[in-house]
């Protein structure tokens, strides 16, 4: 496993000192001793990604969590992702290095609000984005990720479908499922919300030959300016296959780091300021080491919601 690290786009750069390298080696030793696995989201800090066994987006991390043979999963991401790992691997110890690693979007809908949303539109199925807490998943008929949201909605027999919490992703899905009527909850991702058309315009003037690649959590006005819209994994795949050399990336800063690692011959730039999710950056190497050493910060889900929440994830997995 490579330990050398690139810069993390200036937002979260950290000097790779001998002490930090020693910490990375200690983490890997513990992973082997404890039969653990480290899963890291693409938006994580570079030095954290460097100790991971697997780096991916929400959907791929869920698949990895469901299939791992490890006894312990250290989830380097945010709380709802670690909860999803626990739902899929209920008998494993799932650890989150910092319990403050929440999600601004997931915070926008509680279980009570999900119940109210359903009650105000009786008879319609609720599709919830995976960026929700387990209590909301338990109220949902089926989950989705940004990779499969349109396919999940299309798979339902109903014409009218409730979608929570991201209204921007809901609008994107609506565009791709014209025979459905999507009723959206009023949430959004604060990190993508700050990306404005004027910022994209300014960047395009500096990089007129670049293709604009955007995540569907951006506003519809921003998505209108994109050459390609896709999930985190979709953006990576598109950039890799494209014969173009330069790309403006409209999503969280961590994807720039990953793209520059994967395709060093291409140029990836962002808007100014570069969007940066503070929740994702709560996870630091010291916290990964501490939670693995002490087996601290276990994810626990009440049994009353475990089964129902898990069912909504499994239904999604069956569709995709
Ligand atoms: S980028 Fe947005 S949706 Fe993703 S974890 Fe951060 S706040 Fe939540």
User: Are 23 and 97 found together in one domain?
Assistant: yes
Give me ligand 1 centre to Cα 105, in Å.
Answer: 6
The yes-or-no verdict on residue 8 having pLDDT over 50 is no
How far, in Å, CA of 246 to CA of 269, rounded?
8
Mean pLDDT of 65-93: 94
- Is residue 305 one of the residues assigned to a domain? no
Domain boundary among 190, 214, 235: 190
Looking at the predicted structure, is the pLDDT value of residue 7 above 80?
no
Per-residue pLDDT at 41 exceeds 70: yes
**How many Å lie between the centroid of ligand 1 and the Cα of residue 252?**
8
Instruction: Categorize the per-residue pLDDT at 2 as very low, low, confident or very high, splitting at 50, 70 and 90.
Output: very low
In a domain, 317, yes or no: no
Q: What CATH number did the domain enclosing 98 receive?
A: 3.40.50.10800
Q: Is the pLDDT of residue 3 over 80?
A: no
Predicted pLDDT of residue 59: 77
Map residue 212 onto helix, strand or coil. Answer: strand
Strands 160-164 and 181-184: parallel
Q: 29 and 89, same structural domain?
A: yes
In the chain, the number of structural domains is 3
β-strand partners of 184: 163
Give residue for tokens 């330069």. 246
Judgement on whether residues 93 and 116 belong to the same structural domain of the protein:
no
Please give the Cα distance from 62 to 314 (Å, whole number): 10
Instruction: Determine the distance separating the centroid of ligand 1 and the alpha carbon of 180, expressed in angstroms.
Output: 27
Same domain, 22 and 96: yes
Ligand 1 centroid, distance to 152 Cα (angstroms): 21
Q: How far is the CA of 33 from the centre of ligand 1 (A)?
A: 32
Give me the domain span that covers residue 70: 18-102+280-294
Instruction: Kindly state whether residues 77 and 26 are assigned to the same domain.
Output: yes
Tell me: do 28 and 97 sit in the same domain.
yes
* Number of Cβ within a 10 Å radius of residue 222: 23
Whether residue 5 lies inside any domain: the answer is: no
Using the atom order of ligand 1, give the atom closest to the CA of residue 80: 5
Task: Say what the pLDDT of residue 13 is.
Answer: 56
| 183 and 202, same domain (yes or no) | no
Cα of 247 vs centre of ligand 1, distance in Å, is 22
- Region 171-191 average pLDDT: 98
Q: Are residues 112 and 71 in the same domain?
A: no
Q: Is residue 143 part of a domain?
A: yes
The pocket around ligand 1, CB under 6 angstroms, is made up of 78, 103-105, 131, 189-191, 252, 277, 279-280
Task: Specify if 209 maps to a domain.
Answer: yes
Task: Give yes or no: residues 201 and 256 share one domain.
Answer: yes
Residue 165 maps to a domain: yes
Of 131, 132, 215, the one to substitute when testing ligand 1's pocket (max ligand atoms within 8 A of C-beta) is: 131
Q: Which residue has the least CA distance to atom 8 on ligand 1? A: 103
10-29 per-position pLDDT tens digit:
344 578 899 999 999 999 99
Q: What is the DSSP string of the chain?
A: --------TTTS-----HHHHHHHHHHHHHHHHTTEEEEEETTS-HHHHTT-SEEE-HHHHHHHHHH---SEEEEES-HHHHHHHHHHSTTSEEE-S-TT---TTGGG--HHHHHHHHHTSTT--EEEESSS-HHHHHH-SEEE-TTTHHHHHHHSS-SEEEEESBHHHHHHHHHH-TTSEEEE-SB--HHHHT--HHHHHHHHHH-TTPEEEE-TTS-HHHHTT-SEE--HHHHHHHHHH-S-SEEEEES-HHHHHHHHHH-TTSEEE--SSPP--TTGGG--HHHHHHHHHHT-SB----HHHHHHHHHHHHHHHHH-
Q: Which atom of ligand 1 is nearest to the CA of 106?
A: 8
Same domain, residue pair 201 and 229 = yes
Q: Whose CA is nearest to atom 6 of ligand 1?
A: 277
Q: Which amino acid residue places its CA nearest to atom 5 of ligand 1?
A: 103
| pLDDT of amino acid 66 | 85
Using most ligand atoms within 8 A of CB, pick from 58, 75, 103 the residue to mutate for ligand 1.
Answer: 103
- 244 within some domain: yes
- Work out the number of other CB atoms within 10 angstroms of the CB of residue 230: 19
- Of 279, 282, 283, the one to substitute when testing ligand 1's pocket (max ligand atoms within 8 A of C-beta) is 279
Boundary (domain end) residue, out of 153, 173, 190: 190
List pLDDT tens digits, range 196-254. Answer: 999 999 999 999 999 999 999 999 999 999 999 999 999 999 999 999 999 999 999 88
Residue nearest to atom 2 of ligand 1 (CA): 189
Query: 177 with 224, same domain?
Result: no
Give the separation between CA 152 and CA 150, rounded to whole angstroms. 5
Retrieve residue 80's tokens: 């709802």
Ligand 1 atom showing the smallest separation from residue 251 Cα:
1
User: Is residue 77 assigned to a domain?
Assistant: yes
Residue pointed to by tokens 């994830």: 313
Q: Which atom of ligand 1 is nearest to the CA of 252?
A: 1
Is 0.75 surpassed by the pTM of this model? yes
């Amino acid at each position: 496993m490579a330990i050398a690290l690139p810069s993390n786009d200036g937002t979260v750069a950290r000097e790779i000192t001998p002490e930090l390298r020693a910490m990375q080696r200690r983490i890997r030793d513990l992973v082997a001793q404890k039969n653990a696995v480290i899963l890291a989201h693409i938006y994580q800090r570079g030095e954290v990604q460097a100790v991971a066994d697997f780096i991916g987006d929400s959907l791929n991390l869920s698949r990895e969590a469901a299939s791992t043979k490890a006894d312990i999963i250290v989830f380097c991401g945010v709380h709802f992702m670690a909860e999803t790992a626990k739902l899929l691997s209920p008998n494993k110890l799932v650890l989150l290095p910092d319990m403050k690693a929440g999600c601004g979007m997931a915070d926008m809908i509680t279980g009570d609000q999900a119940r109210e949303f359903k009650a105000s539109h009786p008879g319609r199925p609720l599709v919830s984005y995976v960026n929700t807490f387990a209590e909301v998943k338990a109220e949902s008929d089926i989950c989705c990720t940004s990779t499969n949201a349109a396919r999940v909605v299309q798979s339902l027999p109903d014409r009218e479908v409730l979608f929570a919490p991201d209204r921007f992703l809901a609008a994107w899905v609506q565009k791709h499922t014209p025979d459905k009527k999507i009723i959206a909850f009023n949430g959004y991702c604060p990190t993508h919300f700050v990306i404005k058309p004027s910022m994209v315009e300014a960047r395009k003037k500096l990089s007129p030959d670049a293709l604009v690649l955007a995540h569907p959590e951006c506003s519809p006005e921003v998505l209108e300016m994109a050459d390609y819209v896709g999930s985190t994994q979709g953006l990576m795949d598109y950039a890799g296959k494209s014969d173009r050399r330069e790309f403006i990336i409209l999503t969280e800063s961590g994807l720039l780091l990953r793209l520059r690692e994967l395709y060093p011959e291409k140029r990836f730039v962002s808007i100014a300021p570069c969007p940066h999710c503070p929740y994702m950056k709560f996870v630091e190497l010291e916290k990964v080491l501490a939670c693995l050493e002490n087996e601290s910060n276990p994810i626990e889900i009440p049994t009353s919601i475990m089964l129902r929440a898990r069912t909504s994830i499994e239904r999604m997995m069956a569709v995709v």
